[in-house]
Amino acid sequence: MKFHWFAQHYYTKLPPDFGDTVRSSWVTPPAAVADPTQVGEDYHMYLRLMQQADGLGWDSLLLNEHHQTSLAMTPSPNLLAAVLAATTENAAITLCGNSLALYNPPVRVAEEIAMLDALSGGRVIAGIVFGTPMDTAFSYGVPPIELRERFHEARELITRAWREPEPFAFNGKYTQLRYVNTWPRPVQDDIPIWIPGSGSPETWDVVNDNDYCYGYLSFSGKQSAAPIVGGFWDYTASQGANMNPNRMAFTQIICCADSDAEAERQYSDAVKYFYRQNPTAIEFATPPGYNTPAAIKANLTRAKTQSAEERLKATRGELSFWEYDELGYIIAGTPERVEQRVRELATELRIGQLITCMHVGNLPEEVAAQNNQLFGQVIPKLRDVWGEEEDRWTPKVSQERVAAKFGDGAGLAV
């Protein structure tokens, strides 16, 4: 089993009433709320925590791409990835995005990821995403009906640019280039590709047809996620596609402490801050054309394992700390309890790549650093989960370096 360090790069100093007084934390949040100096301090904190994780045994450091939001101040994950590529030694650098449909021309993504792969010595995972409606349709103005078509055309161009030995012409519907000749080329012959999704069968087809890793990057808890993750595996089995658990990545907030009581004391406010301060206006979440008919049908017919009232209370920060834990929004408590809960999650949902969210909301850096230390002790104890399975979705060089530094418990099934 592999572990990928992640945080949403939240702005940590939002006003206490932000979630109650701002209609949307995405697209239209008042820019004056964020002090640029504080934003810089937050960036440095996240970098320090990721550098610490590199020295504690995580398999990768994961960055995402979002725009115009206090939730994730990472409009260019590649910039932070460049810092990490030059200042870390072991962990892979996972980019989850880039949002391909937002780049013109998208060959820029091929160049930047190749540059990062060279800088890191072959440690890049290329997560490529469709992008949320808030990012794509409203922040960047891409017509929702064009999004998938633009994504797939860009994906074809980028992957071809990495492997073609000679310059070539590309004549797509949205991108026309007389000369494509990416310099530099990636160190890896085949950069691992992950595609996050939210349950669309069309995305499952792309992932299965190309043997990519599928990422369900939800913060809605195990109960809410189970029908989608289970649906992916059922669909994959029905297509005769690869059932390797390392093809599934899943996001989980971790709150580790010396005792259960200490976990509640240290993390409760930050967890509620994370959920309460992140309203998304309904008009930004579901623009016509963003979801395909197949995706809409799948969502309507999929079993619901959590009540609408529970989901609403969660987003308002109205659940108790241990209710968030019970529903799977967080896994909290002592290292022993966290180990047991993660093992159950990974085996029940067939997860080989766990994206551990180690900082949440306005959590103080010292608590997040302690979280890293404590969960770093848990990681070796969970390496046996799916340990016999091949992993082609994490770079070989990072697997070798993690295994060499942290022992056979790091696992190396390649």
Tell me the DSSP string of 270-331: HHHHHHHT----HHHH--TTSS-HHHHHHHHHSPP-S-HHHHHHHHTT-S-HHHHHHTTSEE
Please report the sign of the dihedral spanned by the C-alpha atoms of residue 113, residue 95, residue 66, residue 51.
negative
Write down the pTM of the prediction. 0.95
Closest CA to 165 of 145, 189, 147: 189
Residues linked to residue 252 through DSSP beta bridges, in sequence order: 356
The Cα–Cα gap between 85 and 379 comes to 22
With H, G, I as helix, E, B as strand and everything else as coil, classify residue 124. Answer: strand
Q: What is the pLDDT of residue 409?
A: 54
| CA end-to-end span of the chain | 12
The Cα–Cα gap between 69 and 301 comes to 31
Q: What is the pLDDT of residue 294?
A: 81
Q: What is the pLDDT of residue 303?
A: 65
Q: What is the pLDDT of residue 308?
A: 80
Q: What is the pLDDT of residue 408?
A: 57
Phi/psi at 102 (nearest 5 deg)? -95, -5
Contact 53, 375 (CB under 8 A): no
Closest CA to 80 of 122, 105, 116, 41: 116
Q: What is the pLDDT of residue 414?
A: 41
**Which one-letter DSSP state was computed for residue 43?**
H
The Cα–Cα gap between 401 and 412 comes to 10
The Cα–Cα gap between 358 and 351 comes to 18
Residue 111's CB is within 10 A of a number of other CB atoms, namely 15
Tell me the DSSP string of 340-363: HHHHHHHHHHT-SEEEEEEE-TT-
Please report the sign of the dihedral spanned by the C-alpha atoms of residue 283, residue 287, residue 290, residue 291.
positive
Domains of the chain: 2-410 (3.20.20.30)
Residues linked to residue 354 through DSSP beta bridges, in sequence order: 3, 250
Closest CA to 357 of 96, 61, 41: 61
With H, G, I as helix, E, B as strand and everything else as coil, classify residue 56. Answer: coil
**Residue for token digits 């913060």?**
219
CA dihedral 80, 86, 88, 94 (to 10 degrees): 40
Q: What is the pLDDT of residue 413?
A: 46
Closest CA to 137 of 290, 24, 294, 292: 290
Amino acid at 347: T
Per-residue pLDDT for the chain (414 aa), expressed as one digit of tens each? Answer: 999 999 999 999 999 999 999 999 999 999 999 999 999 999 999 999 999 999 999 999 999 999 999 999 999 999 999 999 999 999 999 999 899 999 999 999 999 999 999 999 999 999 999 999 999 999 999 999 999 999 999 999 999 999 999 999 999 999 999 999 999 999 999 999 999 988 888 899 999 999 999 999 888 878 888 999 999 999 999 999 999 999 999 999 999 999 999 999 999 999 999 999 999 999 999 899 998 888 888 877 766 667 788 888 998 999 999 999 999 999 999 999 999 999 999 999 999 999 999 999 999 999 999 999 999 999 999 999 999 999 999 999 999 999 999 985 554 444
Q: What is the pLDDT of residue 410?
A: 53
The Cα–Cα gap between 4 and 158 comes to 24
The Cα–Cα gap between 379 and 383 comes to 7
Contact 242, 208 (CB under 8 A): yes
The CA-based angle 374-252-262, given to 5 degrees, is 40
Tokens of 314: 């969660």
